Amino acid sequence: MLETGRRAVLGGAAMLLGLAVGACATMPAGDALVSQRHVAVQTAEGSAHALLVLPAHGGRHPAVILWPDLTGLRPTFADMGHRLAQAGYVVLVPNAFYRSVELDGSAATAQPRLSFGETMKRGAPWRAAASDEAVVADAGAYVAFLDTLPQVDPASRVSMVGFDIGGAHAFVAARAMPDRIGAVAAIHPLAIATSRDTSPHLYVDQSKARYLVEIARPDDEREPGDKEDLRQAFARAGLEARVTVVDAPHGFMVPDDQGFDAATSERVWNELLAFLSGPNRE
C-alpha cells in the first residue's frame, strides 16, 4: 500500500536534487526571537509553498514539520511555528494541499469563517489529492530540504506535529520514514483511527516514533472507540505513547478556529513542548 511511497522516499533523492528554496528575504516574524522566510520545496509533483521559521540565535537545532489542519496554511500556523521556534526548533510549515490550492501562509483561508461542515466539504478534494502516497513523497521532500539547512542538527531526528487532518499526515510520514521521524504529536486529530484498512493507526508498528495524541471531547463522543484502538495499536507495537481526551471543542488549540479555547490551548502547548523535548537523537 505505502510500499510505493516508501520507495519514493528512499529513491527520491535523485528527483529531489531539484529541491528549491524560494529566494525570499527574511520576513518580519513579529518578534525578535525568530526569523521567518517563505520557501518553496520542490516535490516529485510540483512546488510546495511553505514557511520556514528559525530561532534567531545561532547554532544547530532539531527540526519540526508542522502540518496544518484542513483549512490549510495561513497566518495562525505561522504564529504556532514561531512558538515552536522560540522553544529552539527549526520549523517547516508546508502547504500540504498544494496540488489543489495555492497557499503561502500570508492570508487567512476562511473569511468569513467556515463551519466545520463547510470546511470538510471544501477540503474533501484537497484531502483526496493529498493521498497517503502523496504525503509520503512530500514528507520525504520536506525532510530532505531540512537536511540541507545549516541550522538543523543532523544528529536529531525530525518531529512531526499535526493538527486535524495534519495528524494523519504525521502518522503516515512516520510510518514511511521510521529512522528519520522520532516524535509525532496529533492534536485534535482527524482520520488517524478509522474503519478503513488503510487507517494510520493500523501501521504504527512500522514506525519508531514516540506519540502524543490529544483528542477533543466532541470527537471522542462521536467515535468513543478510537482512543482504545490507538492505545492498543501503540501497545502492540511497543511504542511510547500517550492518548488523552481533552475536555474542549475540536480546534481547541488553533487560535482562528471557532473551537479555540485559550486556557486549554496553553495547557496542551506546555504538554506538547515537554513531549518534543524528550529523547530524539539518532
Instruction: Yes or no: say if 50 and 94 are a contact pair by the CB < 8 Å rule.
Output: yes
The distance in angstroms from the start CA to the end CA of the chain is 27
Measured over the CA atoms of residue 55, residue 175, residue 240 and residue 224, the dihedral's sign is positive
Q: Where do the H-state alpha helices sit in 65-178?
A: 75-86, 116-129, 132-147, 165-176
- Cα-Cα-Cα-Cα torsion 120, 123, 124, 125, nearest 10 degrees, comes to 170
Low-confidence ranges of the chain (pLDDT < 50): 1, 3-29
**pTM for this predicted structure:** 0.88
220-271 pLDDT per residue, tens: 999 999 999 999 999 999 999 999 999 999 999 999 998 999 999 999 999 9
Q: Read off the C-alpha cell for 230.
A: 490507538
**DSSP symbol at 91:** E
Predicted pLDDT of residue 123: 62
Predicted pLDDT of residue 282: 63
Predicted pLDDT of residue 21: 45
Q: Read off the C-alpha cell for 90.
A: 527549526
The closest alpha carbon to 215, from 240, 182, 191, 181, belongs to 191
Predicted pLDDT of residue 17: 35
Q: How many helices (H) and strands (E) does the chain have?
A: 8, 8
Instruction: Yes or no: say if 212 and 203 are a contact pair by the CB < 8 Å rule.
Output: no
**Angle CA 87–93–97, to nearest 5:** 160
The closest alpha carbon to 163, from 73, 30, 85, belongs to 73
Instruction: Yes or no: say if 164 and 190 are a contact pair by the CB < 8 Å rule.
Output: yes
Distance of alpha carbon 137 from alpha carbon 151, whole angstroms: 23
**DSSP symbol at 78:** H
